């Protein structure tokens, strides 16, 4: 059987990821959330645990530390976060949510869930669970 790029797992995963990111970005824009995908990466980790360092966010998000630094700079300029020097290690900064950052959680998570549901249209609960299981299995090798 000849190899068909458009049927490869890598291609299908990439196309689904692009479609989902674009849809989520449209939903966020419609609801005047101005932090985009990059901001979501940082904020979602801080909603799980506020006061992380940029390095901790980088590790948890699997995103390079210089990128996280840029994302944090943008979020700080738009008043979603504040960076405070770590008391124990003056070389590090702890990242904390501002009131605006905390208030964005409920709507952004609802929009993320909406994008997820719409992405999975046509799949039943069992198929969604199986897909998640298989993707995690692929990640963990």
What average pLDDT does range 14-40 have in this prediction? 91
- The confidence score (pLDDT) of residue 4 equals 85
Q: Measured between alpha carbons, how far is 131 from 33 in angstroms, rounded to an integer?
A: 29
Domains in the chain: ranges and CATH: 5-140 (1.10.10.10)
pLDDT over 70, % of the chain:
100
- The confidence score (pLDDT) of residue 1 equals 74
- The confidence score (pLDDT) of residue 63 equals 93
Average pLDDT for the chain: 92
Question: Per-residue pLDDT tens for 122-131?
Answer: 999 999 999 9
Alpha carbon distances (Å) from 72 to 11, 89, 94, 108, 114: 31, 19, 11, 17, 26
Question: Per-residue pLDDT tens for 60-94?
Answer: 999 999 999 999 999 999 999 999 998 888 888 99
- The confidence score (pLDDT) of residue 5 equals 86
Q: Measured between alpha carbons, how far is 135 from 121 in angstroms, rounded to an integer?
A: 18
């Amino acid at each position: 059987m000849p190899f068909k790029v458009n049927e490869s797992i890598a291609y299908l995963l990439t196309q689904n990821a692009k479609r989902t990111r674009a849809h989520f970005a449209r939903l966020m824009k419609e609801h005047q959330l101005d932090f985009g995908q990059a901001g979501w990466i940082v904020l979602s980790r801080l909603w799980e645990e506020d006061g992380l360092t940029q390095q901790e966010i980088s590790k948890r998000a699997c995103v390079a530390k210089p990128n996280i630094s840029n994302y944090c700079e943008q979020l700080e300029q738009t008043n979603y976060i504040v960076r405070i020097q770590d008391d124990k290690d003056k070389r590090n900064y702890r990242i904390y949510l501002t009131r605006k950052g905390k208030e964005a959680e409920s709507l952004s998570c609802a929009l993320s869930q909406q994008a997820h549901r719409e992405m999975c249209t046509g799949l039943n609960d069992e198929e969604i669970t199986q897909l998640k299981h298989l993707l995690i299995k692929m990640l963990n090798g």
